[in-house]
Each structure stands twice: as C-alpha cells, then as structure tokens.
Structure 1
Amino acid sequence: MRLLHRLNQYQRLYQHVGPTLQSTTVAELAAIFFCSERHTRTLLSQWQQAGWIDWRAQAGRGKRAQITCLKTPEDLRSSCLQKLLNEGDHSAALQLSQLDPRHLNALFAPHLGGQWQADAPTLRIPFYRPLQNLDPQTLSGRAEQHLAHSLHAGLTRYITGVATPQPDLAHHWQILEQGSVWQFFLRSQLYWHNGEPLLVEQLCQLFARLRHTPRGQHSLANVVEISQPYALCLQFRLDTADYWLAHRLADLSCLLFHPDDPTLGAGPFKLAHFAPELVRLEQHPYYHLQHPYLSAIELWISAQLFAGEPKVSCQHPVSIFPGESSELARLSPVKRRTSLGFCYLAINLKNRHLSVAQAQKIIALIQDSGLLDNLPIDPSLVKRSREILPGWPLPARQTSQQDQVRLPAQLALLFHPPVELEWIAEALQALFATEGCQLTTQYHPGRLWDNGEHLASVDLLLGDRLIGEAPVATLENWLRQDPLWTEILDKNDLQEQQCRLLAIQQQPCATQREDHLREHFQQLMQQGSITPLFNYQYQVSAPPGVNGVELTAWGWFDFCQAWLPPPMGIA
C-alpha cells in the first residue's frame, strides 16, 4: 500500500525534525528515508505542495536547507483515513487503521451499520478477527458457517425458526421404496454466482466427490448410487432407508459449490471481496428464491474496533454498531435467545483410566461444587445447562455411594476454544486437587476435534457443540461425524450406538426418531460419557433504522430478512 509507505517515511522524518525549524541536507534526509537523493527531492516537493512540511532550500553546494513539519503523523493518518472512507475505499482504510488506534471508533462509526451507497442498501458489520477461507468443507467458525449458508445453496435448506428442511435448489422431492429411493426435482433456471447455468450433471459429480470427503462421507454414508432418471431430477438410491436424508442435504457438509471454485455458490449472496480486513457479499442477481432486500453485506475486520472490550470469545453476542456515533446511546438488543448449542464435558471410558462410577462422580462434583456458577464469565452471556435439548433433561444422579469413590492420582484434560473452556479447565484443576487428583490440561487450537489421535491419550475433553435450526437432526449428525465418539466409547458401546443410529434413521415418524435418540443420549449421560455444562445467550444489537433483524440458531441474524428505510431527504 503506497500511502502506508509514505506515512511511514513521514513518521521517520517527524521523529528527526519535529515541529521546530531544523537545518539539514538532502543527503541526510535520503538516509532517513532509505532512498536516493533524487527520490528524496520528489518526496519533499510533494509534501510541500500538500502542506505537510515547510522546505526552504539554499542555492549552492554544501548549503544547508531549512525544514519543519507542519502536521503530526497522527493528524495525517486521521485525515487520510477519513479521505479513504469518504471515497469508499474501506479496504485501504482498514489496512491503514492498524497504525492509528486512537479515535478509530469515532472515525469508523459513521460508516458502519445500515448505509445507502449508490442507491443500494448496504449493511456494514465490525468484526474482531480474520475469517477462514469460506470453503464449506474446511471451515469451522460460527461466523464462517453462517456466511457459508448465505453464499451456498443445498438441495434443501433450513429457514429461521423452522426445524424441518425446506426446498432450496430442489423445488420438491418424493420418497420411494420405503425410504430407500429419494427423488429431488430441481427448479428450472438455476445459476451459479458467475452467471453460468447450474446443471444436474454438475450436481451428480459434486455429490460423488462429497461422498469421499471427510465431512460429506458421513452424511452420504448410505448412498450407493446418484443418477438423473429424468430431466431436472436427481435421484439417490440408498442401501438402507434413511429418513434423515433431507436434513443431511441441508447441512453444511452438503452445501453445493461450483466444481471449479469452492467459494462460488448459488445462494442469495455472492462473495465479491475477501481480504483479511474486509469481506463483502453482494446480492446474487439470479437467485432462485425471493431476493433479499439488502444489496450488500460488509464485514470490517479490525481487532482495534474492539479495543477496550473484555477478552473476546467467538461465541459472544453479535453486535451491529450504529451508523452515527451520536446514536451509540440508542443501541440496544433487538433479539435475544438462549442457544440450544452447549459447551460440554466428555469423559473417556475407552482407555480404562476411569470407571463409570468415577465418571459419574466427576459430573456430580462439577454440578454440586458451584464451579459453573463462579466462573469469570458475564452471567448475561451464559446459562447453566439443565437439559441437553428442551424436554431432554439431565438424568437424576445417584449420590449415596459417591463419597466412597476415589479419583485416580492423575488425569489429563484436552480443551479447545472458546476462552470460557480455558477458564473451566483452570477451575477443574483446583476442584480435582481437593480430591487428591492432579489434572494436567492441554490446549487444542482447532474449533473441532480434527481426528482421534489427540483424543485417545486424554481422560477428559471440554468442547463446544453448535446446534442449528433442526436440533434433533444436529445431535444425530454429531454422533455420526465427530471423531470424539470413536475415542471415548469402548468397542461394545460404539457398536451399540451404530446399530441404534441405523435403526433410528429407518423410522418414518419424526416423533419416534426423536424419542429413540433422546433415550440414547440419556444412556450416554447416565454412564458419564457426556454432560452439557452451559448454553450461550445469543444477542443481536442493531442501530435505529436497521429493521427485520431475525436471530438464527447460529447466533447471527438472517441476512435475507434485514432491511433499511430509504435515506433521509428522498421523497
């Protein structure tokens, strides 16, 4: 960035000269700027014309010139930032902002929130960290998953507040041969974001690829053949009936992307710009469903926008900042809900370091010690778990003989983000020490358990489970996809779980599937394999004038529902 380089050069000059008149030569300045004398003269001329410096050269060899700085580096950066923002070059402004933490919110606030740009409604959201590449097969962050569902379509989809899958690329579908054959009838006139027609042949090839990916293979495990029996018809033949298939096809692992580019989809928004400091989504002009009102969504990424805030967790509430700094006092939550997703403790019974009785004692210790009520977490952000899903309560504990159960002398615990799990790990160390058990902790930087190698050697695991719009289907999918289960359940329990899941998926009745899955999780909790710890309180705050904010199960808001009133002064 050329402007950034110029400001760095000016800052070096200011450190040597400052606001007072100094005597110098071009050669001395060239050494400061690390450039030639010829280029130094060009810089001095440009800066003099811009009013940055006062430069008075003297004629004759060896004569010393007079120079003084008329602007401070901070003033120049602020004015350059404002110029870039007014010109709409927000990517350059965010790069430049890394040098100028002072008054950053005051500079950016008028450009955030709901804005009209070239007669198009745009929503700009501040964000605190760079985003992962938006390939649905590799991403793991909550924000990235929400963006992926805005960029990509599936054969089916979820809509906010509805637990059953709805049509997406498929206009409708039918189930044949007692759940062993599914036919999805595609809409006509489907297009990728680049304007190319979306072809059934492409989807056949994509699903053939997804069947062999680490994520897709679990969702499509029962598929033995994918074909096109009729025009605009995609047929799945299964080796075993699976009445979860429509749910699985709406999952992140089955979002569909262009064969040549995993970030190119067919969803309501397309990816227009992706950089560490700015991500921009624009409305897909050929979208096959109702078009969103917003023309564009921008995420302005800068940790300094959150300067002074408490340590940020990626689970914390989403906030949309006001469009004008004067509206800050009027910023208020417009939607709030308790997430069905939860942080959990899993106990490894497979490696035989812990018995079922010891696992049950650990869970009782956590629940009875007050540990979950005394963490350094804002109580408005979390809520202690009393059930794994609504209507799926935690099992009653048998406490009569737990005083006689002793924990091993040493145990190992593994935890991953968010930061709240680190605080729980530290609290567990102190709690276990009172029981004569030394707990060692290890940190896993990934948001998911990538494989079983790092799970097998530990006894306890602290993790985080996101729950989407279809909570029952999400938990069933968790049992299938997460390598956690193959490492904490012994051979018999794992085999029994696989048999149960196979039997559950063949139940046509959704109520029966839910009942059987609830019974299975009740058994897992009773034996101490898993227990939820707390749920997050999701919240979306929006400035005046941003309407239609609908909080999703992911803790974000539905981009397709938000809208802005017309700009003031327009009849």
Structure 2
Amino acid sequence: MSGQRLQVQFSKIYAHFHGKDSDTNLQDMSEILFCTRRNARMVLNKMAEQGWLTWDPAVGRGKQSRLTFHRSQSDLQMKRVREWVKDGKLDAALEHLDNNASKLAQLIQEQLGVTTQEGKQIIRLPYYRAFPSLNPAKPLRRSEQHLITQIFNGLTRINERTNDVEPDLAHHWEALSACHWRFYLRPAVKFHDGSLLSAADVIASLENLLDNAYFSHIEKIESPAENAVDIYLHFPDCRLHETLAVPMAAIQSKSSMGTKNAERFPVGTGPYLVAENNSRQLVLRAHDQYFGFRALTDEIEIWVLDSAAMCYLQPTASLDPTVLDSRQGALHQNAISNGEHDRLALDEGCNYLLLNRRTGIAKDPRWAEYLHSRIASFSLMPYLAQDGIGEYRLTNAYGLVPGWVHTNAGSSDRTAPAVTRLRLVHQADNPLFPKLAHALKAMLAADHVALDIDVVSYEDMMQGKSAKKVDIWLCGMSLGNQRSDAMLPWLMNFNHMSVAMPDEDYAKLEESMKTWRGMPNKPFPAETLGRMIVEQRQIIPLFHIWLGVVDSRDLEDVSSNNVGWFDFKSVWKKPIF
C-alpha cells in the first residue's frame, strides 16, 4: 500500500473516532475501512510501524481491543504537504494550504539550510534550474563550473584564494623539452565507483578535448610508465600545467565516459559523488575514499525551485548562493556592506551581445557600426525598467570584465542602414535573458528594425550551431578567477567565437595565444584582446552582476568564490553544547 493511500485510510479511522483513543474490535475496523478483517489487521500494523497509532488486540471472544492515536489527521496532512514541497509539487502544496503563500514559504524555508539527520550534516540549497549535464568536457555555465570542481579533479587546479596553480591528481610535473611535458600521478586514487585512477583515464579525458582550439596544440598523449603521463605539443607551451588547471580538463573515469547516465551521473575522483540528479533535485554525497581531506559536510542537496517558489523565500534563508537567478531574492538590500559573511563582489565577466560578423547582418560594416553604437546598457535601461528589472542585481558593463572601459554609452542618434528583420538567439534557462531580449526588441523597433527572438541551450550556443541563421547571440560569461589568462579558455574553447568572427580576426586571437604560450615571463594580454574584440564591433558588453553568499552564521568557514558559490567540502556546522 502506498504512503498516500495509507494516510487516506488513517484519515477515515481518525474521523470515525474523532481523534480519541477508543475501545473497538477488528470487525468494526474492517467496516470503517471497507475491507476484510485480515486486511484491516494488516493496515493497522502498517500504521503502527509508522508510529501513527497503537493497536492492542484483545485476547478472547467478545473482548474489545484498544486503539491509541499518536498522530493527528492534521499532522499527517502536513507531512504530506512537506513531501510535496520536497518533491517540488508546490502547486499541490499551496492548494492544500488554502493558497496561503506565507505558510508555503515557511514550509520551504524550514527545509532549507543546515540540518543533521542520523548523525550526518546536510546542507539544502535552493536553485532555479536543474543540472542535466555535469560533463566537464561540454560547455560549462557558472554553476556547473563550481560543481565540476566538487565532483572531479584535474591534473592541476587553481587555488580559489590565491589564484595560484597547485598539484591535484598530478603531484609533480616537469617540462622535458619545450614541446614535451611529463606529469606524475598520485598512486591509489579512487574514483567514486571504487575503481583506481590510471594513466588511461587521464589520456581518454584529455584526448576528448583536442578539437577545441584551447587544447589544439596538444599533439599526442602517452603513458611511459605506471602513474606517469607524457604530453607532446605541436608548439611550445611553457605554462601547460596552468593550461590544464581549467574545469573542463577534469579527469573522468574512462569506463564511464559515454555511458547512458554519464551526463547526469558522472564518475570522478572529487570530494563529492553524484547520488541523485533529476529535474527537482541534485544530491551530492561525500566521497569517503577521497584522496584529500574528507569533506566536512556529508551531503549537499540542491533543490530546484521555479521562479514562483523563489519568491516565497525570505531574507532569513539560511544559506543561499546568490547566483540563484541574478535576482535579489533572499538577499538583504544592504548585504554588500553587512560584514564579511554577507559581502558580494562583481562577477568576473558579463552578459553580452555577440554580433555575427561572419555570416550575419553585422558582416556589413554599416550594420556592425549601427548595432555597436546604438546598443549599450544605458540605452536599454528605460526599456528594462518597464519589465521590472529593478529586482535584478545589474551594473552597467563598459568592458568584458569589471574595471575595463572599452565602450561608450549608446547613442539614440544612430539610424539603421535599412528597414529589416534580425534574428537574436539567447541561451535557455536564464530568467534575465528574456527580459534583455525583449527590451532590445522594443528599442530596435523604434528604429524600424524588427527582432525575432529564439532560445537555444547553452551547449548549442557555445558550439555555434546554426550560426548562419543568427545575427546576434545574447549570452553570458564568467571567468571563474582573476588570473590574467582567465579569459583565454572562454575565447578559445568550442566554436562560439570562430563562427562569429571573420577568419583574419580569429587568426589574430590564435596567434596571440600561441605567442604568449611560448613566452614564460609575459602576462597574458587580456585587456588588449578584450578591447580589440569590442572595438572590432564583435562584442557589446551589457551588464555585470553581483555574486556572493549570504550566510546566517549557521556554518563555519563559508567564503564565496568567484562564481558565487562556496567550497562544499570545507564548510561545517559547529555543535551546540
């Protein structure tokens, strides 16, 4: 019998006896439940196992049995509502609560934050979308970048506090020549499925990346001995250990790559394994055989709540990655200055428009100049204000990264070269982008330029699919750290730049990367390249957003990273004595 059916049966019994402990018999119970005496006994035993009541059967003919209630009907109704909330069935829960939004908010909030169950520390966090793919080799949005670092390890990693490159799965490395590097693997490292890490896993994971321009200088990868990997290059890279410290170079289990569940349930070596991953919930469980320090928090549950549910959350939400949906949501209005635990920072990146100068309307210099001069965050704000944009944490962007000034305020004096229709595509599952797209549509309509808007997945956008049919892409980028070379993986991974840029301009980017990799003491010319692609009328920066973690002091050692989350394995709850 299902739990819901058992609760219905309990309601019948409770209503019949008005919730009062009573003397009765099995025959009466079978009539109340409309079943046989045998089934009635089975139902009563199940309810007793749940702790809802006690059934003390009498011995002897004509004796009355004793029925004692331990739960009320309203208790079980609230339990059902709590289960609906946990399963994401918020409409059903709200209806059962007589559409009382404040009660629903309380139920949502009481299940979020930090809790202890059976001696295990669990953190429950709200989020606005699911994570159907946690494959590090695919395009990674901001939150996926963070989750990859919790599930996987690379040969090397970037320290979130210092931005320095550190050993990870490789405990040592050396450049045997300008085009030949050797990495030495830690022994006895175990994947989440219990299998041992081998050089074959490293080779398979890295070979999966070689179609990307960022890794295209890798010629071949071999294993000269157990726990050693040799990487041969087409041209020198004196920073190969830094090149491999990006999330997409995470090492996967070769045997699990390409399997049916590899996207949702990847197998890595990191401090957390994926226990559940569906449209309503992502559950990460501590990897007890992790080669580093075992995670202090046993389980992370990320609840997927839609925009309506997010509105129910109160400013006292226990712990809230403020990346939620770029909205103020659970933030105090003065969170920026509320102290160390509530401090926010501008994301190292921005939302931007990418013009198709290769096959789209912007291949005509007149249109490229018009769009670049007409569109700017300042000129969009009046249209955004009409759509309730005030609830979003936006700051005007004058360059790709906060602090860069490479673009001017938009000019309303510009006129379109002709009356025409453009096609804009933006990434799905981002609540801000539809507002930006419709604001842009309204602004261009004043210039007699019609804008068709379509939505694609982030993966399709970064892969540059159907580029010939697109004039403008609306997308976002987050560099993940403050290193000078942080922009390079975004520029050169996948095809989003190469399908939008003329060949000669993209060749300049490739040459800049190649030249820099061969010069050991030269900082990466990030701002120079950022200015170049803006001044080429290739990209129009729009807005930066604020990121951070608001903490109600339930946890120790909470510190926001550069993608608006915190290191799961390092936080913990102090016991109350």
Same fold? TM cut 0.5: yes
User: 341, 350, 353: which one pairs with 1:342?
Assistant: 350
User: In the alignment, which of 364, 378, 386 is matched to residue 390 of structure 2?
Assistant: 378
Distance 2:129 2:77 in 1: 23
Match of 1:415 in 2: 426
Displacement of 1:450 after TM fit? 5.0
Spell out, residue by residue over 1:128-159, the C-alpha distance to the aligned partner (whole angstroms, 9 max, x if none): 44332433234744333322210111101122
How far apart are 1:287 and its partner, in Å? 2.5
Could you say if the C-alpha distance between residues 47 and 264 of structure 1 is closer, same or farther in structure 2, counting changes exceeding 3 Å? closer
Q: Which residue of 1 aligns with 2:535?
A: 526
Per mean C-alpha deviation after superposition, the further-off stretch among 232-241 and 378-387 is 378-387
1:268 is aligned with what amino acid? Answer: P
Structure 2 distance, partners of 1:416, 1:266, is 30
Distance 1:560 1:277 in 2: 23
2:255 is aligned with 1:260: yes
Q: CA 1:428–1:229 in structure 2 vs 1: closer, same or farther (change >3 Å)? A: same
Match of 1:229 in 2: 224
Q: Say whether the 8 Å CA contact 1:412–1:440 is kept in structure 2.
A: yes
Q: Which amino acid aligns with 1:423?
A: K
Contact residue 479 and residue 490 of structure 2 kept, 8 A: no
Q: 1:441 aligns with which of 441, 447, 453?
A: 453
Tell me what 2:87 maps to: 95
Q: Does 1:162 align with 2:162?
A: yes
Task: Give yes or no for contact 2:424–2:452 (8 Å, CA) kept in 1.
Answer: yes
Aligned to 1:58: none
Deviates more, 1:164-173 or 1:490-499: 490-499
Cα contact 2:297–2:569 (8 A) shared by 1? yes
Deviation at 1:478, TM superposition (A): 2.1
2:310 counterpart letter in structure 1 = F
1:316 aligned residue (326, 331, 343): 326
Q: Give runs of aligned pairs for residues 47-58 of structure 1, distance below 5 A.
A: none
**Post-superposition offset of 1:523:** 2.0
Could you tell me which runs of 5 or more consecutive residues in structure 1 were left unpaired when the two chains were aligned: 20-29, 53-70, 85-91, 322-329
Q: CA 1:306–1:498 in structure 2 vs 1: closer, same or farther (change >3 Å)? A: same
Distance 1:386 1:407, change over 3 A: same
- Pairing of 1:49-448 with structure 2 (within 5 A): 76-80=76-80, 94-95=86-87, 98=90, 99-101=92-94, 102=97, 103-107=103-107, 109-138=109-138, 140-178=140-178, 180-208=179-207, 210-211=208-209, 217-261=212-256, 262=262, 263-303=266-306, 306=310, 308=312, 315-316=325-326, 334-351=342-359, 353-354=361-362, 355-367=364-376, 370-372=379-381, 375=384, 376-378=388-390, 381-390=393-402, 392-395=404-407, 403=414, 406-417=417-428, 418-446=430-458
Per the TM alignment, residue 343 of structure 1 is displaced from its structure 2 partner at its CA by 0.5
- Measure the CA separation in 2 of the matches of 1:382 and 1:397: 16
Work out whether 1:456 is the aligned partner of 2:431. Answer: no
Aligned match of 1:66? none
> What is the CA-CA distance between 1:374 and the residue it aligns to?
5.3
Deviation at 1:9, TM superposition (A): 8.2
CA separation of 1:107/1:425 partners in 2, compared to 1, >3 Å: closer, same or farther? closer
Q: 1:105 to 1:337 in 2, by over 3 A?
A: same
Determine if contact 1:372/1:533 at 8 Å carries over to the other structure: no
- State the alpha-carbon separation in 2 of the partners of residues 257 and 452 from structure 1: 25
**Matched residues in 1 for 2:52 and 2:200: separation?**
63
Using the TM superposition, name which of 337-346 and 219-228 deviates more.
Answer: 219-228
- Shift in Å, 1:384: 1.1
Task: Look up the SS of the partner of 1:192 in the other structure.
Answer: coil
Partner of 1:547: 556
Shift of 1:331: 12
Letter in 1 for 2:354: A
Taking structure 1 as reference, are residues 501 and 78 closer, same or farther at Cα in structure 2, changes over 3 Å only? same
Q: What amino acid is the match of 2:86? A: L
Work out the CA distance in 1 between the residues paired with 2:46 and 2:122: 36
Cα pair distance change 1:149/1:339, threshold 3 Å: same
Deviation at 1:307, TM superposition (A): 5.2
Matching residue's letter, 1:220: F
Deviates more, 1:160-169 or 1:468-477: 468-477
> Structure 1 residues 282 and 288 mapped into 2: Cα distance closer, same or farther (>3 Å)?
same
Please, what is the CA RMSD of the aligned residues? 4.3
TM-aligned CA deviation for residue 426 of structure 1: 1.2
TM-score between both structures, scaled by the size of structure 2 = 0.76
- Structure 2 counterpart of 1:496, from 497, 508, 516: 508
- Structure 1: distance between partners of 2:221 and 2:235: 14
* Aligned residues of 2:201 and 2:251 also touching (Cα < 8 A): no
Aligned AA (1:269): Y
Cα distance between partner residues in 1 of 2:366 and 2:539? 14
Question: Hey, what's the Cα distance between the residues in 2 that align with 1:156 and 1:41?
Answer: 63
Report the CA distance shift for 1:5/1:182 in structure 2 as closer, same or farther (over 3 A). Answer: farther
Q: Could you tell me how far 1:510 is from its partner in structure 2?
A: 4.2
Q: State the 1:317 CA deviation.
A: 6.4
Output the CA distance in 1 between the equivalents of 2:233 and 2:305: 47
Q: Tell me if the contact between 2:374 and 2:414 (Cα under 8 Å) persists in the aligned partners.
A: no
Residues 139 and 145 in structure 1, CA contact (< 8 A), matched pair in contact too: no
Say if 1:560 and 1:487 are closer, same or farther in 2 by CA, change over 3 A.
same
TM-score by length of 1: 0.76
Contact in 1 for aligned 2:351/2:542 (Cα 8 Å): yes
Contact kept? 1:192, 1:265, Cα under 8 Å:
yes
Q: Residues of 2 paired with 1:467 and 1:160: CA distance? A: 12
Distance change (3 Å), C-alpha of 1:278 and 1:500: closer
Contact 1:331–1:542 (8 Å) recurs in 2: no
What's the offset of the Cα at 1:477?
1.6
Structure 2: stretches of 5+ with no match in the other structure: 19-29, 54-70, 98-102, 257-261, 315-321, 332-337
In structure 2, the CA distance between the partners of 1:205 and 1:549, relative to structure 1 (3 Å rule), is same
Per-residue deviation, residues 270-324 of structure 1 (Å, max 9, x unmatched): 23344444433233233233343323322244547535469x9854369899xxx
Any idea what the Cα deviations from partners look like across 1:403-422, whole Å, max 9, x if unmatched?
A: 47635432222122322221
User: Which secondary structure state, in structure 1, belongs to the residue aligned with residue 461 of structure 2?
Assistant: coil
Maintained 8 Å contact 1:456/1:488: no
2:26 is matched with which residue? none
For 2:422 and 2:414, the matched residues in 1 are separated by 19
- TM-aligned CA deviation for residue 395 of structure 1: 4.2
* Equivalent-residue separation in structure 2 for 1:238 and 1:541 (angstroms): 44
